[in-house]
């Protein structure tokens, strides 16, 4: 007969606790598959999985709504031009900082990268 009067705190032996803890880790690492579990352990796993999923569902719904809102905002805005003629280049900013050698290196790298644009 199955006992249905559970104590306030259910206690297992230390070896049973260690086995269940190792089994949980091995399930997460896919060292053990669900089909290998006994029917009782499988029921416990499914219950825990569904309870965890339900507890995180509001946060997931909020994150999806935020992602949709950000996507809609980005689609609403016109694209900014890649290069603004009035904006100083990174090399120009380096020259303002006094690093002329670094600015020359940046200019040379840009010429190598974008040679067809500079022709």
Chain centroid to CA 61:
16
Q: Are residues 27 and 61 in the same domain?
A: yes
pTM of the full structure: 0.48
Interval 98-108: pLDDT, tens: 999 999 999 89
Interval 40-84: pLDDT, tens: 999 999 999 999 999 999 999 999 999 999 999 988 888 777 666
Question: Cβ–Cβ contacts within 10 Å for residue 91, how many?
Answer: 19
Q: Are residues 97 and 63 in the same domain?
A: no
Q: Are residues 55 and 25 in the same domain?
A: yes
Quick one: pLDDT at residue 119?
57
CA distance 92 to 103: 7
Whether residue 3 lies inside any domain: the answer is no
């Amino acid at each position: 007969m199955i006992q249905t009067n559970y104590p306030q705190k259910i206690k297992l032996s230390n070896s049973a606790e260690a086995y269940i803890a190792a089994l949980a880790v091995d399930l997460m690492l896919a060292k053990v598959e669900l089909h290998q579990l006994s029917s009782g352990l499988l029921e416990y796993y499914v219950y825990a999985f569904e309870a965890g999923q339900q507890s995180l569902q509001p946060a997931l719904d909020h994150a999806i709504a935020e992602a949709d809102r950000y996507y809609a905002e980005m689609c609403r805005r016109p694209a900014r031009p890649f290069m603004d003629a009035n904006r100083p280049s990174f090399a120009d900013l380096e020259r303002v900082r006094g690093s002329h050698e670094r600015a020359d290196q940046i200019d040379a790298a840009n010429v190598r990268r974008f040679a067809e644009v500079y022709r």
